[in-house]
Structure 1
Amino acid sequence: MRRHLHAEWTKLRTLPGTGPLLLALVAVTVTVSVVAAAVVSCAPAGCGHDPARISLFGIQAGQAVVAVLAVTAISGEFGTGMIRTTLAAMPHRMAVLAAKAVLLAGLTLAAGGVAVLGSALAGPRVLLGNGFPPPAYDGPMVRAAFGSVLYLALVALLSLGVATAVRDSAAAIGVVLGLLYLFPAVILMIPDPDLAELLWQISPTTAGLSIQATTQLSALPLAPWAGLGVLAAWAAAALLTGGLLLRARDA
């Protein structure tokens, strides 16, 4: 496995887009979080907004950057045919995919940690000027921040699995962005509340982002960690499907 990790790390760090995309993840996430905090106000009598969700709102934009990073980590090899060289040198295909997943998750956790930390520090300061109470960096906020970092890593693994199965970068990005953005939009248009709640519970985005909730937890269709577990199940299924197809098909 060490040989696979070394080879995949060499490829990943030499891709021209890896560094800029990691920087973009941090910049986009923090910027959108600050903008979201700037446009929300709270009356002196109180408001129903969750300050943690607002402060970490940029995750919903940063996940698109993560998806692009994960897809390009493998789709470029399919596009150029370099995957044949990779699999000729390392015939254990599942180990190749596992090495990509480990390194991609590690990079996403590192950059996502910086992005979430910046959002968690900057967002509450902006909210404080808009009538919100002083930030409380207690257990729920720590859980929301830590869970948001895990959320980004799981999005990366989901995207890697989809890209491995689909092989085409444009198609893979379309599928992932559809799951992340179109699926939640469709839920909002469902008139049946029971069906809408069911779709909310199985959507990787709406269920996964419940990890950010720190208020009105009893009103959530899923508990925060259970919601993140739904996204983990999506990521595991995508990686398993991609791995099986990688092993079954010709390079």
Structure 2
Amino acid sequence: MRAALRAEWAKLRTGPAGLAVPLLLAGLLAAAGAALGDRAIDPVQLRLLGVRLAQAAVAAAGVHLLAGEYGTGLIRTTLLAVPRRLHLLTAKAALLTAGVVPVAVLGVGVAVATLPPGAAMLRAAAGSVVYLILIGLLGLGTAAVVRSSAVATGIVLALLYLMPMILRMVPDDDWQRALYRLTPATAVQTLATTVDTAALPMGPWAALGVVAAWSAGALALGALTLCRRDA
């Protein structure tokens, strides 16, 4: 496992997936700058708008971390060096998390730094950091299943951006609300909302649990696929 972690750390530092880090920070800082001095009804939600942009970069980083190796053929060398495939996937998940955490904490912290502290604001900030980690893992798990960067990125981005638009077209309000509770895309708004939370389809931690379930499911299916398929 240590060898797998060292190998993946080297690739994470030098590979294209590292480009997601400045993109994530830029998105969050842009939202913070745009929100300065704004007296919105929910200033926390406004400050965290950058999370909606940053999730695409994090998802792409998670996808590329594995699917990029399939695209170049490097995966064969990787599997020769780390033949235990569950160790490989675990190492990639661990280092992806380690890469996202400090940048997400910094970006979210800057975004909400000038707001008065409170339980709701701290919950929204912490939830946004965890959400970004889970989205990266969702991308990694999806990549392990489909092995294509383009297809995996398309699937995750469709879940995050296209699915909410599709749900708005559901004519029945009860069905629409039920479906909102099952999709990971609505969590980003739910987590950032600190005003009139009773109108939300579900609570923030329940929404985060839905995202965690999607990520865990993608990783579990990805692990099964990785172990059963040839490189």
TM superposition score category, shorter chain reference: over 0.9
Deviation at 1:209? Answer: 3.7
Q: Which moved more, 1:201-210 or 1:58-67?
A: 201-210
Paired position in structure 1 for 2:184: 204
Give deviations 1:3-38, integer Å, cap 9, x for gaps: 2111111121121451x3201110122213433x37
Deviation at 1:40? Answer: 6.4
Unaligned runs of 5+ in 1: 43-48, 126-134
Unaligned runs of 5+ in 2: none
Paired position in structure 1 for 2:43: 51
Paired position in structure 2 for 1:23: 22
5 Å-filtered alignment, 1:79-228, equals 79-121=71-113, 135-228=115-208
Paired position in structure 2 for 1:73: 65
**Stretches (4+) displaced over 4 A:** 38-42
Deviation at 1:178? Answer: 0.2
Letter in 2 for 1:34: G
Deviation at 1:162? Answer: 0.5
Give deviations 1:166-187, integer Å, cap 9, x for gaps: 1111111111100000011111
Give deviations 1:163-208, integer Å, cap 9, x for gaps: 1111111111111100000011111121210111011101102035
> TM-score when scaled to structure 2?
0.94
Question: Is the 2:31–2:46 contact (alpha carbons within 8 Å) kept by the matching residues of 1?
Answer: no
Matched, 1:2 2:2: yes
Question: Is the 1:8–1:99 contact (alpha carbons within 8 Å) kept by the matching residues of 2?
Answer: yes
Question: Is the 2:48–2:111 contact (alpha carbons within 8 Å) kept by the matching residues of 1?
Answer: yes
Match of 1:136, SS state, is: coil
Matched, 1:62 2:54: yes
Deviation at 1:41? Answer: 5.2
* Aligned sequence identity (%): 44
Q: Which moved more, 1:218-227 or 1:148-157?
A: 218-227
Question: Is the 2:138–2:214 contact (alpha carbons within 8 Å) kept by the matching residues of 1?
Answer: yes
Partner Cα separation in structure 2 for residue 170 and residue 204 of structure 1: 20
Q: CA RMSD in A?
A: 1.7
Partner Cα separation in structure 2 for residue 226 and residue 157 of structure 1: 18
Partner Cα separation in structure 2 for residue 39 and residue 73 of structure 1: 38
Count of aligned pairs = 231
Letter in 2 for 1:26: L
